[in-house]
Amino acid sequence: MKVSPLALGLSFALYAFAGYAAPVNQVSAAVAPTASTGDQGDADSDQGSRNRRATKAKQLGAVNVTAALDVARNSLSPDTGSSEYVINAQNIQALPLGASTPLNQVLLQAPGVVQDSYGQLHVRGDHANLQYRINGVMLPESIAGFGQALDSRMIQSVKLLDGALPAQYGERTAAVVDVTTKSGVELGNGGVVGITGGSFGTVNPYVSLWGSSGNWSYFFTGNYLENNVGIENPTRSRDPIHDHTNQLKGFGDVSYLINNDTRLSFLFGVTNNRFQIPDNPSQTANFGYLNQTAFDSTQLNERQNEQTRFGLLALQGKLGDTAYQVSIGQRYSGLQYRPDDIGDLMFNGVAGRINQTDRASTLQADFATPWGGSHTLRYGVYYEFDRAMTNTNSLVFPTNPDGSQASTVPFNIFTGDRILAKTAAIYVQDEWDISDALTLNYGLRGDRYTAFREESQLSPRVGLVWQATDSTAVHAGYSRYFTPPQTELISSKNIDAFANTTNAVKNYGNNTPLTERSDYFDVGVQQNIGSDWTLGLDGYYRKVQRLQDLGQFGAALVYSNFNYRYGRVRGTELTVSYNHGPLSAYFNAAYSRAMGKDVMTGQYNFGVDELDYISSHYIHLDHDQKLASSGGATYAITDSTKVGADYLFGSGLRQAGLVPNGRSLPYYFQLNFNVSHDLNFDRIGKVHAQLALINALDRSYRLRSGTGIGVGAPQYGPRRGVFLTLEKPFSF
């Protein structure tokens, strides 16, 4: 029976928008994916080994219409001079939790990616600042929270691009996470239904549907998750207190071939996350409430809810020799923090009921035109209109002139902000094949950002790839970056409202965040040894003005912006991979140093002694980690049975010391194992089973100690867990 893709899409969208969603927060890296540096080929199928440079597709050959349009879309994005790491759907399926692995944990396989609490990632010493793209369309970032907005089950391949990026990439530039979605045309008509369950009360059922009919194709996926470790445990205990989460996530991609050269696609997604905030036992109350002087911190009932919705409509194809993609989109995100009124007042002196929303509308157009036989001219525009709102009702106590509590009777203060932000960008660049061995990409990008003030910049970009030998490639690049602040803001007016209360802070009068500006230098070499081994070495340096950072300074798990006047970031990355027969293995190691000096905005978040020291000294950023490593191996015993092991290592993020952020946390090491087997039953056919052992050594390690600039409660990595996935594919 034929099922209408439009009916499927409408039904799925209505179902997805009714629920709640998010990721499993449990696992690390797995098998060796595919990566390259320099000039990545157009076809995902020609990727070689993990960091082996792919062959550049010069001619299309005999392919179907959809594949031809995919090649045309890929031609819009040069990779010359930047570093690229590719992970495909097969790599994700081989992870310990398979496609149930959240996207942030998938990306931890890449070199230079460091894990943090609340699911955050830091790439090459930057705090967040990640740009997400779906099929080449930029997705505006959501309000920072705990959950992941994108589901790993939608991914055909994902590229992590960093280094000296070409001119078409702007705004968020620590790294570009470019997702290519699965296609119903390539997968046929069918789907998969499965469930992952195990330790910590984890239950994660999911279903995906895909197919095509005539000129239509579609892919839909949705999953529900609940467990008792929604946010990292603030203690070493195996079972956190008050840490349950319920989440629902959905994604859809519907495409229509207008003709052989034109395709219209609609992509949409929804994520709803509900979190309990875990409790930290044995905390001492700092304030009295009415006649109450003590409060059991294990009875706190703080909660946070998060929502993300997005829709993207893209027209993509070719006009003569010119490839193009024009898209419009909208993304809505919301966050609600619900305090325990009495508990938050007694521990923190404030109980703030926070509501944040942000709605962004976008227009993006990219074009690529070959000319002169050896040149490809690429050009385009991007525009985003952002409307952000924050409303907070805060219960506080009055204070005496010396700052002591004047009364045990709280009162409410309402504060709010409404922000309109406009981002406009235009770029032009030329990729010049100087010879068969030498490619130069040079361009210019112009950005203008208007919100708290108007700021703009012209940013030159240049990248060079030299194929020194058949097995050796060298790349180098320089990029000037312009990074606007996130739209969350605490204004001077809001600070003044809390004068003479237990939520008062010093108002230094400079609380408007500034756009970061930086110069990025990157150089690397890649060496293939035979057909099995690939080695890569990459070094980078970034000189920053108005370095942006984020911190959790209040009781709520909401981040605040601030700027250092100066920043400097440098590092080196090594990648090694091996692929031969049934065995694949990889090893990544990274060294990084990220420093900042002189806090120039958001000073209300700091103490006077801290500001005095930082004004004349470089300090480590709180998310700086000196050493990071990941690695693993997978062995196929038979076509239906595979075993694998992988690990994560880190030298630790920063914590308070003799100077701000003066010490690093102890190193951590997490080892995981997995085994998978395809079962065949007479009546139902093939069933895929996968067993994962996470943190096999049960090493308890701290991601955060609860000290340092902008650091909230302590957070610990996952304890040992066992998870089983059962998955049944089907066709129709």
Give the tokens for residue 374. 């050896």
Listed range (20-29, 32-41, 196-205) with the worst mean pLDDT: 20-29
Task: Please state whether 598 falls in left (phi above 0), alpha (psi between -120 and 50) or beta.
Answer: left
CATH superfamily of 5-528: TonB-dependent receptor, beta-barrel domain (2.40.170.20)
The H-assigned helical ranges of 40-196 are: 65-74, 89-93, 103-107, 184-187
pLDDT at 558: 63
Q: Is 618 exposed, middle or buried (0-12, 13-18, 19+ CB in 10 A)?
A: middle
- Residues 344-369 pLDDT 10s: 999 999 999 999 999 999 999 999 99
pLDDT tens-digit map of 447-460: 999 988 899 999 99
> In the prediction, which pLDDT does 713 show?
79
Give the model confidence (pLDDT) of 56-89 as tens digits: 433 333 236 877 778 777 878 776 667 888 888 8
Q: Which pLDDT score, from 0 to 100, does residue 417 have?
A: 86
Looking at every residue in the chain, the average pLDDT score rounds to: 86
At residue 489 the predicted structure's pLDDT band, cuts being 50, 70 and 90, is low
Say if residue 18's pLDDT is above 50: no
Tens digits of per-residue pLDDT, 278-320? 999 999 999 999 999 999 999 999 999 999 999 999 999 999 9
Lowest-confidence segment of 26-35, 322-331, 443-452, 551-560 by average pLDDT:
26-35
Confidence of residue 33 (pLDDT cuts 50, 70, 90): very low
* H-assigned helices in 76-166: 89-93, 103-107
Q: CA neighbours within 13 Å on the CB side: how many for 507?
A: 15
State the pLDDT at residue 375: 95
- DSSP-derived letter for residue 332 is E
173-200 per-residue burial string, b: 16 or more CB within 10 A, e: under 16: bbbbbbbbbbbbbebebebbebbbbbbb
Q: State the Cα–Cα distance between residues 185 and 211, nearest whole angstrom.
A: 6
pTM of structure: 0.88
- 457: its two tokens: 């910049």
What residues does each domain of the chain span? Answer: 5-528
Residue 384 binned pLDDT confidence (cut-offs 50, 70, 90): very high
Residues 578-636 pLDDT 10s: 999 999 998 999 999 999 999 998 888 888 899 999 999 999 999 999 999 999 899 99
Q: What letter does residue 89 receive in the DSSP assignment?
A: H
Residue type, 10: L
* DSSP letter string, 402-448: TS-B--S--EEEEEEEEEEEEEEEEEEEEEEE-SSSEEEEEEEEEEE
pLDDT of residue 43: 37
Q: What is the pLDDT of residue 10?
A: 35
Q: How confident is the model at residue 493 (pLDDT cuts 50, 70, 90)?
A: confident
**563 membership: H or E segment, kind and range:** strand 560-580
pLDDT digits (tens, 9 = 90+) for 167-192: 999 999 999 999 999 998 889 999 99
Q: pLDDT class for 554, splitting at 50, 70, 90?
A: low
DSSP code per residue over 252-311: EEEEEEEETTEEEEEEEEEEEEEEEPPB-SSPPP-S-BTTB----GGG---EEEEEEEEE
Q: Which residues pair with 391 in a beta bridge?
A: 355, 416
Give tens-digit pLDDT for 197-218.
999 999 999 999 999 999 999 9
Encode pLDDT of 227-264 as tens digits: 999 999 999 999 999 999 999 999 999 999 999 999 99
| pLDDT score at 444 | 97
Give the span between the Cα atoms of 423 and 386, in whole angstroms.
Answer: 8
C-beta of residue 581 within 8 angstroms of C-beta of residue 622: no
* Percent helix, strand and coil across the chain, each to the nearest 5: 10, 55, 35
Give me the pLDDT at residue 550, please.
Answer: 80
What's residue 261's pLDDT? 92
DSSP string, 477-505: EEEEEEEPPPS----HHHHHHTTTBTT--
Please, which pLDDT band fits residue 145 given cuts at 50, 70 and 90?
A: low
Q: Which amino acid is at 671?
A: L
